[in-house]
Chains A and B, each alone.
Chain A
Amino acid sequence: MKWELFTQLMVNGLIVGMLYGVVAMCFVLIYKSTQVVNFAQGEFLLIGAWVCWAFLVEFQLPFWLGFLLTLGFMMIFGIVLQVVVLRPMIGEPIISVIMLTIGLSITFQALMNWMFGVFAKPFPQVFDTETISIFGLNVQTAYMMSLVISIVIMIAFYYFFKYSKMGLAMRATAFDQQVAQSLGISVKNVFAMAWAISAMVSALAGVVVGMVNGVSQALATIGIKVFPAVILGGLDSIIGAIVGGVLIGVLENLAEYFDSQWLHVGNLYSIAPFYVLIIILMIKPYGLFGTKDIERI
């Protein structure tokens, strides 16, 4: 047992898991408020990261300006997507909605590959990457920064939903659409806002991952990793999304550790979350924090 490697992997798992948690939170936000399962969540990261990359590299803008423009772009993108594509699907059966977001996912992925190429491109240096040592563990500053950003996003989400008017309106809509509407909340706006916020925060996560690993198609795979996380946490629970994300991140690295030490099957890292996913679905389909839906006739 190599403790050093083990703890290092655990810390990596925690950091990656926090990012999964943030993306899972965006996923849950859309699911909870609009009942749409977004298979294109990973593409939001991809688009955000590429757009930010284009602003910084192609147009040579300073980081803060390029970043703000990216957020603005993603907000408009999210709203337009909801209004143009998702709004006609309200009330359609679940398979149509799933297929629609899958269609969006392959369209955007192909579009991004076409526009920017399939190979990873490095992000311009925004923060210096040096390795710092915390409690004897070597952690890159970029990783630390991503951890800090994830936590900040989570706290911001908490305050947004607890105290802001829009956040309360979104919670009310998620609770009961008809009641919310009769109280004067514009459900249309709430739906559009949910997509806008989700797209913005996902883009932020995409930029963070892009800064650490470079921007490439691989970003979209985070959108797939979100599924084990949200199922583990419960599909309609924001807390569950964070817990699920962290657990899946840690589990991935744990699988990596066991694989390299004892099992030697290779590639267990990427496949272990899906085994967990099936097991959870079999024994506890509503996850740790999800609400169990009871059907009444």
Chain B
Amino acid sequence: MAGHNQMKCGQFRTTYEQDNTIFPTPLARGVAIGSIIFLLFAPLFAGPYFLNLAIQIGYYGIAALGLNILVGFTGQISLGHSAFFGFGAFASAWINNTTGIPVFFSIPLAGLMTLAVGLIVGIPAGRIKGLYLAIATLASQFILEDFFSRAEWFSGGTYGAMSNPVSIFGYVFDSDQSFFYIVLFWLVLSYVLGANLMRSRDGRAFVAVRDHYLSAEIMGINLTKYRVMSFGISSFFAGIGGALFGHYLGFVSAEGFTILLSIQFLAMIIIGGLGSVMGSLMGCVFMVLLPELMEFGAGGLKDVFPAFGYGLTYLKEMAIGIAIIMFLIFEPDGLAHRWKMTKSYWKLYPFSY
């Protein structure tokens, strides 16, 4: 553990506020703002392939952040995150199709609707925890999945629902280039909200509940309130991510939100790092790029081993499973921890202490 928490030379924090900023150093703040500015210009030169990947990373990244708040910060295991993701996608399409509210505003409304559902699903969390909660969320995943294929008024039943492209005051964001900005806007907003939440009283309460719930309760933290609230916040982000996903694809179908997607979300935050805001994004990048890399690799191996050609879908699934297992055994703290270690290594470079 030595070294990775050390402060940079010349950085003196004299007040509590200084110790609690989002970015630990001015350099980190500069890099973050710089990369956002870089991303603002990215659609001008990035090809459609990379743009598509970036958009995927965007909406999955928002949902992964939500799950990390629930699992990583509050310590509640959820196996039903993709159901919330799907609910957001259906809700946004439904709001837009039935009331005619522009899609730009239906996305946050869908997030709020998903928040309400999350609060209902989170009610058992007030009573049970750990393993039992994981099984309860597993059940809610199946129940919500069943609801999607049944509720024709809401989700179009087994046929699925049409989801219009994002539009506001007559301007339609129907190309990848323009949609990229919508995703970027929500991504930055979510991560700023997420990072700020963790600096607030509520965020500290979440961490206290995770670390030792009995001590937290003794210190005056209302366990039920924070556990259910964590579910709500997590589903809000899932709903936003899902709504973006729906409006990007233009069509939402109940088959897309299976338990496998929930597992992928969990894989993202475990690979990225539980309890790390930026870790969620790192894990998400990893999980989106992994199948692409596999496709790339299998393209070369296909000529030698034909089995890699037709088995690619299964190989991708296996890669997800193996990545989870490998990370849990060899790097349980995830990529965020690895990144910190790398930084601190260079900070002290020629010496080990």
We find that the number of chain B residues with CB closer than 8 angstroms to chain A is 44
8 A-B pairs closest in CB distance: A107-B321, A103-B324, A110-B317, A114-B314, A274-B139, A106-B321, A110-B314, A110-B318
Is B332 an interface residue, CB under 8 A from the partner? yes
Decide if A102 touches B266 in the complex (CB within 8 Å). yes
Residues 92-116 of A contacting B (Cβ, < 8 Å): 92, 94-96, 98-100, 102-111, 113-114
| B172 / chain A contacts, CB cutoff of 8 Å | none
Interface residue from A95, A109, A114, A282 paired with B127 (Cβ < 8 Å): A282
Is B328 an interface residue, CB under 8 A from the partner? yes
A274 to B266, CA, bound (A): 21
Decide if A275 touches B329 in the complex (CB within 8 Å). no
Decide if A297 touches B214 in the complex (CB within 8 Å). yes
Q: How many A-B residue pairs have CB under 8 A?
A: 121
Is B289 an interface residue, CB under 8 A from the partner? no
* Selected interface stretch from B9-17, B91-99, B108-116, B140-148: B140-148
Is A88 an interface residue, CB under 8 A from the partner? yes
A96 to B329, CA, bound (A): 9
Q: How far is the CB of A94 from chain B (nearest CB, A)?
A: 5
Write the chain B residue with the least CB distance to A110: B317
Decide if B135 touches A231 in the complex (CB within 8 Å). yes
Most buried by A among B135, B146, B150, B320: B135
Q: How far is the CB of A191 from chain B (nearest CB, A)?
A: 16
| B140 / chain A contacts, CB cutoff of 8 Å | 274, 278
Q: A271-B143, A281-B132 are in contact. Are A103 and B315 (CB under 8 A)?
A: no
Interface residue from B142, B150, B324 paired with A265 (Cβ < 8 Å): B150
Q: A103-B325, A282-B124 are in contact. Are A98 and B142 (CB under 8 A)?
A: no
Q: How far is the CB of A27 from chain B (nearest CB, A)?
A: 12
| B263 / chain A contacts, CB cutoff of 8 Å | 102, 106
| B119 / chain A contacts, CB cutoff of 8 Å | none
Q: List 5 contacting pairs A-B, 8 Å CB cutoff, sorted by A.
A: A95-B71, A106-B321, A107-B321, A281-B139, A297-B214
A143 to B315, CA, bound (A): 36
| A94 / chain B contacts, CB cutoff of 8 Å | 77, 130-131
A102 to B315, CA, bound (A): 16
Q: How far is the CB of B151 from chain A (nearest CB, A)?
A: 11
Is A285 an interface residue, CB under 8 A from the partner? yes
Is A227 an interface residue, CB under 8 A from the partner? yes
Q: Which residues of B contact A (CB under 8 A)?
A: 71, 75, 77, 79, 123-124, 127-128, 130-132, 134-136, 138-140, 142-143, 146, 149-150, 214, 260, 263, 266-267, 270, 274, 307, 311, 314-315, 317-318, 320-325, 328-329, 332
Decide if A107 touches B325 in the complex (CB within 8 Å). yes
A94 to B247, CA, bound (A): 36
Q: How far is the CB of B164 from chain A (nearest CB, A)?
A: 30
Most buried by A among B128, B260, B322, B324: B324
Decide if B135 touches A111 in the complex (CB within 8 Å). no
A37 to B136, CA, bound (A): 14
Contact with B along A30-53 (1 / 0, CB 8 A): 000000010000000000000000
For this complex, into which size category does the number of interface residues on chain A fall?
A: 35 or more
| A109 / chain B contacts, CB cutoff of 8 Å | 317
Write the chain B residue with the least CB distance to A85: B325
7 extra interface residue pairs, beta carbon distance < 8 Å, beyond A99-B328, A102-B79, A103-B320: A104-B325, A107-B318, A107-B322, A227-B138, A267-B146, A267-B150, A282-B127
A267 to B270, CA, bound (A): 34
Decide if B134 touches A96 in the complex (CB within 8 Å). no
| B131 / chain A contacts, CB cutoff of 8 Å | 37, 94, 98, 235
Decide if A278 touches B314 in the complex (CB within 8 Å). no
Q: How far is the CB of B125 from chain A (nearest CB, A)?
A: 10
Write the chain A residue with the least CB distance to B76: A95
Decide if B329 touches A88 in the complex (CB within 8 Å). yes
Is A277 an interface residue, CB under 8 A from the partner? yes
Interface residue from A96, A114, A281 paired with B128 (Cβ < 8 Å): A281
A235 to B135, CA, bound (A): 11
Most buried by B among A85, A88, A277: A277
| A104 / chain B contacts, CB cutoff of 8 Å | 321, 325
| B124 / chain A contacts, CB cutoff of 8 Å | 278, 281-282
Q: A96-B332, A267-B146 are in contact. Are A277 and B136 (CB under 8 A)?
A: yes
Most buried by B among A110, A113, A282: A110
Residues 261-293 of A contacting B (Cβ, < 8 Å): 265-267, 270-271, 274-275, 277-278, 281-282, 285
Q: How far is the CB of B53 from chain A (nearest CB, A)?
A: 22
Decide if B135 touches A227 in the complex (CB within 8 Å). yes
A297 to B214, CA, bound (A): 8
A235 to B132, CA, bound (A): 9
A277 to B140, CA, bound (A): 10
